[in-house]
Chains A and B, each alone.
Chain A
Amino acid sequence: MEKRCTDSQVKGVSTGTTILAATFDGGVVIGSDSRASIGGEYVSSKTINKVIQVHDRIFSCMAGSLADAQAVTKAAKFHLSFHSVQMETPPLVIAAASVLKELCYKNKDELQAGFITAGWDRKKGPQVYVVSLGGMLISQPVTIGGSGSTYIYGYVDAKYKPNMSKEECLQFATNALALAMGRDNVSGGVAHLVVVTETGVEHVVVPGDKLPKFHNE
């Protein structure tokens, strides 16, 4: 039975979401909003975490059906942990992205989940990968996803520069999330940001009222 429904027809908890990831000089910033809604009518959670740590230096943001995304992320997290013990070395970011891609592609008829996987590894440094709904995997320096992303394509295209500093990149990501959450009714809550570098992982949470304000707010 084919189930090719659009976002608004998906039953159960789904995201309206804004997720993004961007590389800077020496690391990546990954961010998301924190709203989960049912059918786009009712906010079922104001503080859901859509950025999941799949390994020490690799994070994944969920988009699409939250249930599907959570199930896939849990499976991928287990698979990666086993893989890294077998390899006796932390997994590469592309390995994490490929594990998610295989799950999404092989089960594309049943699933409705997409991911942004980003992190740092010792071979290629900071990287961002997108796994789309059907299981396409590509690498990009910066990427945005979810329903809220449509409102910030212009901002990202204009304002992103490769090899920014950590502070510049963090400000860029916060601004992008704030703009998207300001216009998309199914994105909102707090902005979750994670900064991953060779030395470690830093979580930044910006509550809704502390987000940058733009004119007309």
Chain B
Amino acid sequence: SASYDLSASTFSPDGRVFQVEYAMKAVENSSTAIAIRCKDGVVFGVEKLVLSKLYEQGSNKRIFNIDRHVGMAVAGLLADARSLSEVAREEASSFRSNYGHDIPLKHLSDRVAMYVHAYTLYSAVRPFGCSFILGSYDKDDGPQLYMVDPSGISHVSTHTHARTHMKEMTCREIVKEVAKIIYIVHDEVKDKAFELELSWVGEVTNGRHELVPKDVREEAEKYAKVNTHTHTHTHTHKHKQLTSDSSFETRQHYCFLNLNVFMYFCFFLLGHIRWGNV
């Protein structure tokens, strides 16, 4: 990668954009976030590493609320993820203002994916160093799960290869499984303290995305701790990326904003060069 990795607007001779791949590394090196779609909802869990004893419990949340019915769990650079959560919120809000109803999850995922993709096209900006999972529950369309990665692809979670027993479980049962998985993947040696962030959206919450209540969370953590100890540690779970119960069907989404965003950036840069503090 002699000099093909200096900007996102450069291809390498074998057709790769290295900056985007490096952005995905930021996700791989982050701690785990997981979401499972079950019979009547979606449960999110994040292994939130606590970097300092001075932080208050519950600070630096990695699960966000996008509108009332959508939850977003992130992995990678938290600052990038925060700004994307604002983008997602504005998309959901303007959809509701224009069309009078909740934004469908697929549309929201496509719109945010398009935005992320736009930042992989120009040398003036860097790609977002985070992936995130979006989940929601609707009584007509059921539970849905989408994931967006730094390249701007929106992956949908399908049932085709789902492990049948998880597909049939309810949110209350899955919460315990999510907690167990987080405890299993947490590497006691490498990273010391962590907080388990759990949230859900489903029939149990009437379609609203909420943090799991304290009593349910404590029960799940207790179950997780018991089961982690009995679980054999030959479990080579190197997959620190986002995982979900079902397999993904990848669809590439292309950005309509290309020309507009490009022109906007030209004016932005020209304006700054002429009048700003460059």
Binding site for B on A (CB under 8 A): 83, 86-87, 89, 91-92, 94-95, 97-99, 101-102, 122-123, 137
Nearest first, the 7 A-B pairs at minimum CB distance are: A98-B100, A95-B99, A94-B100, A98-B99, A94-B101, A123-B140, A92-B101
CB-based contact A95/B101 at 8 Å: yes
Report the nearest B residue to A101, measured CB to CB. Answer: B100
From DSSP, what is the main secondary structure of chain A's interface residues?
helix
CB-based contact A87/B101 at 8 Å: no
Binding site for A on B (CB under 8 A): 97-101, 104, 107, 140
Report the nearest B residue to A91, measured CB to CB. Answer: B99
Report the nearest A residue to B110, measured CB to CB. Answer: A86
CB-based contact B107/A95 at 8 Å: no
Report the nearest A residue to B99, measured CB to CB. Answer: A95
Question: For chains A and B in complex, what number of residue pairs have CB atoms within 8 angstroms?
Answer: 28
How far is A99 from B97 in the complex, measured between Cα atoms in Å? Answer: 9
Q: Which residues of B contact A95 (CB under 8 A)?
A: 99-101
CB-based contact A87/B100 at 8 Å: no
Known contacts A86-B107, A87-B107, A99 near B101 by CB under 8 Å: no
Report the nearest B residue to A92, measured CB to CB. Answer: B101
CB-based contact A98/B98 at 8 Å: yes
CB-based contact B100/A83 at 8 Å: no
How far is A98 from B97 in the complex, measured between Cα atoms in Å? Answer: 8
Q: Which residues of B contact A86 (CB under 8 A)?
A: 107
CB-based contact A102/B140 at 8 Å: no
A89, A102, A122, A123: the one contacting B98 at CB < 8 Å is: A102
How far is A123 from B140 in the complex, measured between Cα atoms in Å? Answer: 7
How far is A123 from B98 in the complex, measured between Cα atoms in Å? Answer: 18
Q: Which residues of B contact A97 (CB under 8 A)?
A: 100
CB-based contact B140/A83 at 8 Å: no
CB-based contact A99/B99 at 8 Å: yes
Q: Which residues of B contact A122 (CB under 8 A)?
A: 140
Q: Which residues of B contact A92 (CB under 8 A)?
A: 99-101
25 pairs of residues in contact across A and B, judged by CB atoms under 8 Å: A83-B99, A86-B107, A87-B104, A87-B107, A89-B104, A92-B99, A92-B100, A94-B99, A94-B100, A95-B99, A95-B100, A95-B101, A97-B100, A98-B98, A98-B99, A98-B100, A98-B101, A99-B98, A99-B99, A101-B100, A102-B97, A102-B98, A122-B140, A123-B140, A137-B100
How far is A80 from B7 in the complex, measured between Cα atoms in Å? Answer: 39
How far is A95 from B99 in the complex, measured between Cα atoms in Å? Answer: 4
Q: Which residues of A contact B101 (CB under 8 A)?
A: 92, 94-95, 98
Q: A95-B99, A95-B100, A102-B98 are in contact. List 6 more A-B contacts (CB 8 A).
A: A87-B107, A89-B104, A92-B100, A94-B100, A98-B101, A99-B98
In the complex, what's the smallest C-beta–C-beta distance from A88 to chain B, in angstroms?
Answer: 8
How far is A94 from B107 in the complex, measured between Cα atoms in Å? Answer: 17
Q: Which of A98, A99, A102: most chain B CB closer than 10 A?
A: A98
How far is A91 from B100 in the complex, measured between Cα atoms in Å? Answer: 11
Q: Which residues of B contact A98 (CB under 8 A)?
A: 98-101
How far is A83 from B94 in the complex, measured between Cα atoms in Å? Answer: 14
